[in-house]
């Protein structure tokens, strides 16, 4: 023993410092070098010498009966290998995340503009495009059901889905609804307790995830009659669960491997090209690649629900909230997707991070002939935040109070109850986050004497030399849940293997987590380093050969899969120490793995991991389940529905050209509690990215849908913020550990997207004095030229 012992704490510290790439550090992305060299294989980069290109024919009508589909001319096109319709599907005709209401290829009717009707496989994308054009479809065009009024009156306007068409379906054109009553609810008696009442009706447009990497992947037929699918997705296992029944295959014959993902933001939670590529590969016996063009991407994935919201708040003269009442109507479009869960979030989070003694809520998602909506970053909490935060500003104005002080006066904190009755049992620094953004230094005022016109609203267009420019400042704070809620047994699986490679201990981490750009793989390596005291960690490609990791969404992956990696690594560590105890008879209770060695605080280094492991590998798999939640009561909305909450506050400074209605966000400050920053560089990157998507929703991003038809399915017409539209985003990160979470961490990615939008609108409102009850705010709203 003594020969291997290094005495003293100093040496242990030295060894510890060797693990600077563990949690809390900011090691660089393991895939970064490949990405900057252009060598990282995104799903659209897959290539096979024998491959075919797949493409879909999509409906030009939002609502129509399909009278006939004639593929005879398309099939005859030279270079075309297959043309498939609904009749060619070997298995189940429908799929869906929560309700199996979506046909893999439309049958008898189409329910939204862009719905896929037939698919083609050909030797060149242009051949496929020409063949698609030769498919003749005869439609009986029907008047689309698109407004709230039409949806809620099916007797007059009809059903998007016939009643009881699917097993678990709501009624009428309501896909899902959730009510909530808290305290005494909202009655005339409760209203009478308030000195001041403010009301508002708010609208949120349809936002798109607009990830840059288009939906794409390649399906390869396998010798066993199964399919190997390489695809960009957010959840490999739930994709497989939906794909296999349609192909008429058992799940084990459908193997998915994650191909490089170019962003996701919720838009890859639903299937897009997966089933189509698999069907074509099954039929042709050849690898089939599908890459959506940008317009097809706009039709091929679900969007953020547009919302209409009716809010009412009552408060005492000194600013204490007495009650809050809201009705949130989300347009879910043609198919259910994640609408039920989005409704649950809107209802339970829809009154914000405030203590409200009495509250009521009614949230619904409608079926309509508009594009389908589902998951997008912020998931039901975004729309509501624009509503309640606008109300807070209105209330502050009515009371003559500072808007930040009013928010702080009513801010929830640890130990307070949500309107769902759930007690917040971890830090909730809402008032502090607001104080932090308020206390950050403001950007310098516009200096008209030393003006670079490129910094003004309108930027490069040289639209102003400073005249007509007014500055405004706005604040906001928001709340978001982390992880899957309402009784869902959310879990993740990780496999960790420790072995000696090239004379060094190396850990391998294998999970099915979709790395969509968020940096999960970096964090997994950090966790393995920290728990196992090794430097070298390799990340196994994500596939369905290991258990499910759940979705890369709901800000849950570091919490859930990170937690699973931690559990698996801890198990490997214990197995290694047990091995050492058996071999060397160690009796110390303070044994740890540090710097590639087994060490004891009291006795120093016991043995090198290389010597202890020898030729053996320790390979263990563990699942991480979060604490159980329950579904909300259908009528009262009460229940311990969410796993964890996360909070972000923002301050926006804007310059508005009041003559032209142009807005330039000058600065967007964020303060967020992340519990524990496992990788500070990535945490800040997530917050800045989230703020920028919120900026997009505030001032430019909207899918324009008129009579059910999408008018701007391109990056020319659907605007996302450029680097010129995006200001400096100073970020203040708080780390107040959550005792229930691995390392005390909190989900990070979504909270800023929830909170930042209303701060920008508030700032524009302050600059212009215009009410602005609809987002995105467009120039015509500011100039009165609508």
Partner 1 sequence: MRVTFTANGKPVEADDVWEGESLLYVLRERVGLPGSKNACEQGECGSCTVYLDGVPVCSCLVAAGQVQDREVRTVEGLADDESGELGLVQQAFIDAGAVQCGFCTPGLLVQTDALLEQDAQPSDTDIREALSGNLCRCTGYEKIMDAVRLASARKCQKVGHSE
**Of the listed pieces 6-14, 659-667, 691-699, 702-710, which binds partner 1 according to CB under 8 A?**
691-699
Positions 350 through 409 that interact with partner 1 (CB under 8 A) = none
Which of 241, 536, 726, 783 lies at the binding interface for partner 1 (CB under 8 A)?
Answer: 726
Element (H, E) at 768: helix 751-768
Least distance (Å) between residue 211 CB and partner 1: 6
Q: Is 722 in the site for partner 1 (CB under 8 A)?
A: yes
The Cα angle at residue 227 between residues 226 and 229, in degrees rounded to 5: 160
Which of 682, 757, 768, 773 lies at the binding interface for partner 1 (CB under 8 A)?
Answer: 682
Which of 11, 538, 600, 688 lies at the binding interface for partner 1 (CB under 8 A)?
Answer: 688
Q: Is 33 in the site for partner 1 (CB under 8 A)?
A: yes
Element (H, E) at 189: helix 188-192
Q: Is 519 in the site for partner 1 (CB under 8 A)?
A: yes
Q: Is 44 in the site for partner 1 (CB under 8 A)?
A: yes
Q: Is 610 in the site for partner 1 (CB under 8 A)?
A: no
Q: Residue 630's closest CA among 638, 620, 641?
A: 641
Q: Is 693 in the site for partner 1 (CB under 8 A)?
A: yes
Least distance (Å) between residue 346 CB and partner 1: 24
CA distances from 771 to 235, 306, 392 (A): 41, 19, 13
40-43 CB contacts, 8 Å cutoff, 24+ apart: 40/260, 41/259, 41/260, 42/213, 42/216, 42/232, 42/259, 42/260, 42/261, 42/262, 43/213, 43/216, 43/217, 43/218, 43/230, 43/231, 43/232, 43/259, 43/260, 43/261, 43/262, 43/291
Q: Is 13 in the site for partner 1 (CB under 8 A)?
A: no
Per the listing, tokens 């399909």 go with 66
Least distance (Å) between residue 258 CB and partner 1: 13
Q: Quick check: 410 and 333 in contact, CB under 8 A?
A: no
CA distances from 196 to 181, 191, 397, 492, 649 (A): 21, 9, 11, 48, 25
Q: Quick check: 623 and 492 in contact, CB under 8 A?
A: yes
x-marked contacts with partner 1 along 267-306 as a string, rule CB under 8 A: ------------------------x-xx------------
Least distance (Å) between residue 496 CB and partner 1: 25
Least distance (Å) between residue 731 CB and partner 1: 8
Between 100 and 682, CB nearer to partner 1: 682
Which of 21, 22, 23, 26 lies at the binding interface for partner 1 (CB under 8 A)?
Answer: 26
Q: Is 42 in the site for partner 1 (CB under 8 A)?
A: yes
Alpha-carbon span 233 to 143, nearest angstrom: 34
Between 10 and 37, CB nearer to partner 1: 37
Q: Quick check: 774 and 205 in contact, CB under 8 A?
A: yes
Please, what is the end-to-end C-alpha distance for the chain in angstroms?
83
Positions 211 through 230 that interact with partner 1 (CB under 8 A) = 211-214
Q: Is 47 in the site for partner 1 (CB under 8 A)?
A: yes
Q: Is 681 in the site for partner 1 (CB under 8 A)?
A: yes
Between 44 and 369, CB nearer to partner 1: 44
Which of 602, 716, 739, 784 lies at the binding interface for partner 1 (CB under 8 A)?
Answer: 716
Q: Which residues, in sequence order, are bridge partners of residue 594? A: 597
Alpha-carbon span 640 to 423, nearest angstrom: 8
Least distance (Å) between residue 710 CB and partner 1: 16
Q: Is 728 in the site for partner 1 (CB under 8 A)?
A: yes
How many CB atoms are located within 10 Å of the residue 388 CB?
A: 27
The answer, yes or no, to whether the previous bond of 727 is cis (omega within 30 of 0) is no
Between 14 and 717, CB nearer to partner 1: 717
Site residue total, partner 1 (CB under 8 A): 62
The Cα angle at residue 614 between residues 611 and 616, in degrees rounded to 5: 140
Which of 175, 347, 477, 516 lies at the binding interface for partner 1 (CB under 8 A)?
Answer: 516
**Of the listed pieces 173-181, 333-341, 414-422, 512-520, which binds partner 1 according to CB under 8 A?**
512-520
Q: Is 526 in the site for partner 1 (CB under 8 A)?
A: no
Q: Quick check: 204 and 261 in contact, CB under 8 A?
A: no
Positions 126 through 165 that interact with partner 1 (CB under 8 A) = 126
Alpha-carbon span 428 to 411, nearest angstrom: 9
Alpha-carbon span 290 to 771, nearest angstrom: 46
Between 413 and 733, CB nearer to partner 1: 733
Least distance (Å) between residue 206 CB and partner 1: 17
Q: Is 38 in the site for partner 1 (CB under 8 A)?
A: yes
x-marked contacts with partner 1 along 427-466 as a string, rule CB under 8 A: -------------------------x-xx---xx------
Q: Is 323 in the site for partner 1 (CB under 8 A)?
A: no
Q: Is 210 in the site for partner 1 (CB under 8 A)?
A: yes
Between 53 and 743, CB nearer to partner 1: 53
Q: Is 37 in the site for partner 1 (CB under 8 A)?
A: yes
Least distance (Å) between residue 281 CB and partner 1: 19
Least distance (Å) between residue 290 CB and partner 1: 13
Give Cα 345 distance to the centre of its chain: 13
Q: Quick check: 507 and 569 in contact, CB under 8 A?
A: yes
Beta strand spans in 525-613 (E): 536-539, 591-594, 597-600, 604-608
Phi, psi dihedral angles at 348 (to 5 degrees): -80, -25
Starting at the edge strand found earlier in the chain, the sheet holding 469-482 runs 469-482, 644-657, 662-673, 731-734
Least distance (Å) between residue 651 CB and partner 1: 16
Alpha-carbon span 289 to 217, nearest angstrom: 6
Give the contacts of 37 (CB within 8 A, at least 6 positions apart).
none
Least distance (Å) between residue 203 CB and partner 1: 24
Q: Is 35 in the site for partner 1 (CB under 8 A)?
A: yes
Between 456 and 567, CB nearer to partner 1: 456
The residue ranges that bind partner 1 (CB under 8 A) are 26, 28-29, 31-33, 35-42, 44-45, 47, 124, 126, 209-214, 261-263, 265, 291, 293-294, 452, 454-455, 459-460, 516-519, 681-682, 684-685, 687-693, 714-716, 720, 722-724, 726, 728-729
């Amino acid at each position: 023993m003594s020969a291997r012992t290094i005495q003293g704490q100093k040496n242990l510290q030295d060894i510890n410092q060797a693990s600077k790439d563990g949690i809390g550090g900011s090691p660089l992305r393991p895939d970064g070098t490949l990405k900057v060299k252009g060598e990282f294989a995104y799903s659209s980069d897959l290539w096979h010498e024998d491959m075919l290109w797949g493409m879909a024919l999509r409906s030009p009508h939002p609502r129509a009966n399909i009278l006939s589909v004639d593929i005879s001319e398309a099939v005859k096109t030279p270079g075309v290998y297959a043309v498939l319709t609904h009749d060619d599907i070997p298995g189940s005709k429908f799929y869906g995340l929560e309700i199996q209401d979506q046909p893999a290829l439309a049958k008898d009717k189409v329910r939204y503009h862009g719905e896929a009707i037939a698919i083609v496989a050909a030797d060149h994308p242009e051949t496929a495009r020409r063949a698609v054009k030769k498919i003749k479809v005869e439609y009986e065009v029907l008047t689309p059901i698109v407004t709230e009024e039409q949806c809620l009156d099916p007797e007059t306007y009809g059903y998007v889905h016939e009643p009881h068409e699917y097993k678990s379906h709501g009624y009428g054109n309501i896909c899902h609804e959730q009510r909530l009553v808290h305290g005494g609810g909202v009655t005339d008696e409760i209203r009478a307790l308030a000195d001041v009442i403010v009301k508002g009706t708010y609208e949120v447009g349809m936002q798109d995830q607009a990830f840059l990497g288009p939906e794409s992947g390649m399906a390869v037929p396998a010798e066993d009659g199964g399919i190997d699918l390489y695809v960009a997705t957010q959840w490999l296992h739930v994709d497989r669960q939906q794909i296999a029944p349609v192909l008429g295959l058992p799940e084990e014959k459908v193997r998915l491997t994650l191909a490089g993902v170019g962003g996701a933001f919720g838009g890859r939670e639903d299937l897009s090209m997966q089933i189509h590529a698999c069907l074509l590969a099954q039929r042709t016996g050849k690898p089939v690649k599908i890459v959506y063009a940008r317009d097809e991407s706009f039709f091929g994935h679900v969007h953020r629900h547009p919302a209409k919201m009716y809010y009412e708040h009552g408060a005492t003269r000194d600013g204490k909230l007495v009650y809050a009442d809201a009705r949130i109507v989300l347009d879910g479009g043609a198919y259910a997707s994640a609408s039920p869960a989005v409704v649950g979030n809107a209802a339970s989070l829809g009154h914000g991070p405030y203590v409200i003694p009495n509250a009521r809520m009614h949230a619904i998602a409608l079926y309509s002939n508009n594009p389908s909506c589902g998951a997008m970053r912020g998931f039901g909490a975004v729309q509501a935040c624009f509503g309640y935060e606008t109300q807070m500003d209105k209330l502050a104005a009515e009371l003559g109070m500072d808007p930040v002080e009013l928010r702080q006066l009513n801010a929830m904190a640890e130990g307070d109850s949500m309107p769902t009755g759930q007690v917040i049992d971890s830090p909730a620094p809402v008032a502090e986050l607001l104080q932090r953004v308020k206390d950050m230094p403001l950007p310098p005022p516009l200096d008209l004497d030393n003006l670079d016109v490129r910094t003004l609203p309108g930027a490069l267009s040289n639209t102003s030399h400073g005249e007509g420019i007014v500055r405004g400042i706005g604040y906001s704070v928001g709340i978001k849940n982390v992880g899957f809620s309402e009784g869902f047994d959310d879990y993740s699986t990780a496999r960790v293997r420790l072995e000696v490679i090239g004379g060094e201990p190396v850990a391998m981490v294998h999970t099915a987590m979709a790395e969509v750009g968020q940096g999960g793989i970096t964090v997994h390596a950090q966790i393995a380093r920290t728990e196992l005291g090794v430097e070298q960690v390799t990340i196994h490609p994500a596939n369905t050969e290991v258990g499910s990791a759940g979705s890369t969404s709901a800000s849950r992956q570091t919490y859930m899969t990170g937690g699973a990696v931690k559990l698996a690594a801890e198990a490997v560590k214990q197995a290694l120490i047990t091995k050492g105890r058996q071999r060397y008879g160690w009796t110390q209770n303070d044994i740890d793995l540090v710097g590639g060695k087994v060490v004891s605080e009291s006795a120093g280094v016991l043995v090198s991991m290389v010597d202890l492991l020898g030729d053996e590998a320790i390979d263990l798999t563990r699942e991480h389940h979060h604490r159980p939640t329950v579904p909300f009561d259908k009528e009262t909305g009460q229940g311990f529905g969410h796993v964890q909450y996360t909070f972000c506050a923002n301050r926006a400074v804007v310059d508005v050209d009041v003559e032209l209605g142009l807005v330039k966000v000058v600065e967007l400050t964020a303060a967020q509690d992340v519990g524990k920053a496992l990788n500070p560089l990535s945490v800040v990157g997530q917050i800045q990215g989230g703020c920028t998507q919120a900026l997009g929703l505030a001032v430019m991003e909207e899918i324009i849908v008129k009579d059910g038809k999408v008018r701007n399915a391109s990056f020319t017409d659907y605007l996302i913020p450029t680097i010129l539209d995006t200001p400096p985003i100073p970020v203040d990160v708080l780390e107040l550990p959550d005792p229930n979470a691995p390392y005390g961490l909190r989900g990070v990615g979504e909270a800023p997207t929830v909170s930042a939008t209303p701060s920008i609108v508030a700032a524009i409102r302050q600059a212009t004095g215009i009410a602005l009850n609809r987002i995105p705010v467009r120039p015509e709203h500011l100039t009165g030229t609508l």
